Chain A
Amino acid sequence: MNLANTSLRQLAQALQARQVSSRELAQAYLERIARLDSGLGAFITTDHERTLAQADAADARIASGTAGPLTGIPIAHKDIFCAQGWLTTCGSKMLSSFVSPYDAHVIEQFEVAGALILGKTNMDEFAMGSSNETSFYGQVKNPWDLTRVPGGSSGGSAAAVAARLAPAATATDTGGSIRQPAALCGISGIKPTYGLVSRYGMIAYASSLDQGGVVAPSADDLGLVLNTMVGFDARDSTSIERPREDYTALLDQPLKGLRIGLPREFFSGGVSADVERAIEAALQEYERLGATRVEISLPNTALSVPVYYVLAPAEASSNLSRFDGVRYGWRASRYTDLADMYERSRAEGFGPEVKRRILTGTYVLSRGYYDAYYLQAQRVRRLIVNDFKHAFTQCDVIMGPSTPTVAFGLGEKSSDPIQMYLSDIFTISVNLAGLPGLSIPAGFGEGGLPVGLQLIGDYFSEARLLNVAHRYQQVTDWHARVPALASA
C-alpha cells in the first residue's frame, strides 16, 4: 500500500476488508515518520509502544466485528490536546515535562472510535503564531519547500499530513490556525462552527475563539474525522447540544444554483498575483459546476485584525495566568519569595510571542484602558458578525483566498509581529463570528507552492461546506498532489 496516495476512506476500507491490519498501518506510518520527519520537525512526540498497543486493540475489535469507520486508523494530534500518559507540551517550555493525567474530550472520542494516537504534532507556542516559528521545539518546515514556513499555529499537523506522515491530524483554530497552515501546505482543513468540538482538555488560548478541527488531504476525509470529533460535552460550558450529524451525508449533492459570495474586501489589493490567479481559476471551475458569483461586502474586514489583537491577548492573559509554577509546568530553580517564583517561572517558561500577548492582554484589560480597548473591540466584533449575517442573506457560501500569499520564508516575518499578524487578515473574522471555515488546495503559485481557497459558511453548515469542497475535488486533483519528499 502506497501511503502517499491512499485516502483515509481507502485505508478504512482496507482495514475492514482485512487487506491490512491496524498494526501494519501504524508501523508503516511510524516508519515514515522516523525516516522523513527529521527534516520537517512536524512531530514533538511519538510513542511506538502506546500506538501499537492501541493498534492491537483495534485489530481485535475489527476481528470481532464491532469496528466503526475510524477503528484502526492512526490520527496525529496537535500537542494542544491533553492525552493521558502522553507528553502534552503545547509547544512550550512551560509544559516541557507535562505528561497529561487526563484525556481531552476530543481524545476520548477518538478512543471510543478505536482510532490510534499516532503522535503529537508541533505547533506555535500556546497556538500563538502564524508560522510555527514560536515553538519551543523548533521550527516546522514546509514539505513543499524546506526553506518556507508551514504556517501556524497548527504547522506540525499540516506538515505531517502534507508529507503523508499521517492520514489526518487534529488541529485548532483561533484566528486561522487550521485554515492558514492547510493552505500553505496544500491540504484541506476545517474549523467547525464555534461550540461543535469540545474545548475540554484543549489547552486554552482565547476561549471565545478557540475551536478544534481537522486537517486531511480531502474534504471527504475531513467529514469522516469530523463525524467522530464533534460531540456535546457538558464539561465545556460553550459546547453546543444538537443531534449528531453525518458530515459526509451531503458530499455528492450537485452544486447547481449555488450562490458564491465574493467579498469585495478579499479581492481589492493585498493579495499577490499568483494567489489571485489560482483563486480566479477555482471560481471558474465552480461556475462550470453550476455555481454563480455574487458580489458582497464585508466592510469591517480590515478591523478584524486589531479586534483580534485586543480580544485574543485579553483572553490569553487570563487563561495563561494558571501557569504559575505551582500545580504543573515549569518552575524556576532559584527565587527569593512567592512573587519572585511566579515571575521567574513565567519569564523562563514562556517564549517572547507568548509574553508579548500576555502583556498586551494585561494592558487592554487594565484600569483606564478597558473601555477604550476591550469594550470597543467587542463592539466592533458585533459589527463584523452583522456583516456576515447580512452577507448570508445574499449568498450560500463565501469564498476567497485563505492567505494573501503562498508560504513565506522561514525567518522572513519572525522579527516583525505586525507583519506576521496581518498575514491572517482573511481568516480572523471567521473566528470572531464563530462561523465554520474551510481551506482547500486550489493550485500552485510562486515557487510551485500551494494556494488555498477559503470557504466560509453560515452557522452549522459544515456538511454543505464539505459538499462544496468535495465537488470541486471531484473535478480537480490539487488535493491529491504531494510534495516530492512524500513520495520518497
Chain B
Amino acid sequence: MALTENDLRRLARLARIRIEDDETGPLLAQMGGILGLIDQLQAVDTRGVEPLSHALELQQRLRQDTVTEIDRRAQFQAVAPQVEAGLYLVPKVIE
C-alpha cells in the first residue's frame, strides 16, 4: 500500500517531527522504498511461530526495593536547555 502525503504528515505528528513542505516529496519516495523492502515479510509463512522479542529470552531480574540513586539534580540539569530553581522550563500548557 502506497504511503500518501496525509499518512506521512500523520506519522510525523505522532513522531513529533516537523516536516517542511519541500521535504514531503523526497521523504515519500524514500519511505516508499523502505516500506517496499519490509513488505517482503508479508509473503513469509509464519503460522504457528511465536514472535521473538529478544534473542536470549531472558527473565527480568528483581532487585531489593531500596534507594540506589543519589541526588545529582544539579549535574543533570546543567545539560538542560532551560531550567530555573531546579525545574525544567517548557512553554505554558495550561492557561
A interface residues, Cβ below 8 angstroms from B: 97-102, 194-195, 208, 234, 237-238, 240, 303, 305-307, 309-310, 317, 321, 324-331, 335-344, 346-347, 350, 355-356, 358-360, 362-364, 366, 372-373, 375-383, 385, 416-418, 421, 432-435, 459
Contact = CB atoms under 8 A, between A and B. Distances in A.
A377 B41 contact: yes
Nearest to B20: A347
A380 B41 contact: yes
B30 A356 contact: yes
Given A237-B60, A346-B17, A366-B14, A303 B41 contact: yes
A237 B61 contact: yes
A373 B38 CA distance: 8
A94 to B, nearest CB: 11
Interface of B: 3, 8, 11-20, 27, 30-31, 33-42, 44, 46, 49-56, 58, 60-61, 63, 72, 75-76, 78-82, 88, 90-93
Contact of A343 (B18, B76, B81): B18
A329 B80 CA distance: 7
Contact of B11 (A336, A362, A382): A362
29 contacts: A97-B79, A98-B79, A101-B76, A194-B56, A195-B56, A234-B63, A303-B40, A324-B16, A327-B79, A327-B80, A328-B79, A330-B81, A331-B81, A336-B91, A341-B90, A343-B12, A343-B18, A344-B18, A347-B17, A356-B27, A362-B14, A366-B14, A376-B46, A377-B41, A380-B41, A381-B55, A418-B34, A432-B55, A435-B55
A378 B20 CA distance: 33
Contact of B17 (A350, A364, A432): A350
The interface centre, meaning the residue of B11, B31, B49, B81 with most chain A CB atoms within 10 A of its CB, is B81
A362 B3 CA distance: 13
Contacts, number: 171
Contacts of A306: 37-41
Nearest to B26: A352
A374 to B, nearest CB: 8
Contacts of B93: 337-338
B26 to A, nearest CB: 9
Nearest to B76: A101
A184 B20 CA distance: 36
Contacts of B44: 303, 376, 379-380, 383
A240 B58 CA distance: 9
A338 B80 contact: no
B81 A325 contact: yes
B60 to A, nearest CB: 6
Contacts of A383: 44, 46, 49
A310 B38 contact: yes
Contacts of A237: 60-61
Given A194-B55, A326-B88, A359 B41 contact: no
Nearest to A421: B37
Given A306-B38, A307-B41, A326-B90, A366 B11 contact: yes
Nearest to B16: A342
Given A99-B79, A338-B93, A346-B16, A208 B34 contact: no
Contacts of B31: 356, 359-360, 363
B37 A418 contact: yes
Contacts of B91: 335-338, 340-341
Contacts of A363: 3, 11, 31, 35
Nearest to A327: B80
Contacts of B41: 303, 306-307, 310, 373, 376-377, 380
Given A362-B14, A372-B42, A377-B41, 5 more contacts: A238-B58, A343-B12, A346-B17, A366-B11, A421-B37
A359 B14 CA distance: 9
Contacts of B42: 372, 376
A435 B39 CA distance: 26
Contact of A434 (B8, B56, B79): B56
A342 B27 CA distance: 20
Contacts of A356: 27, 30-31, 34
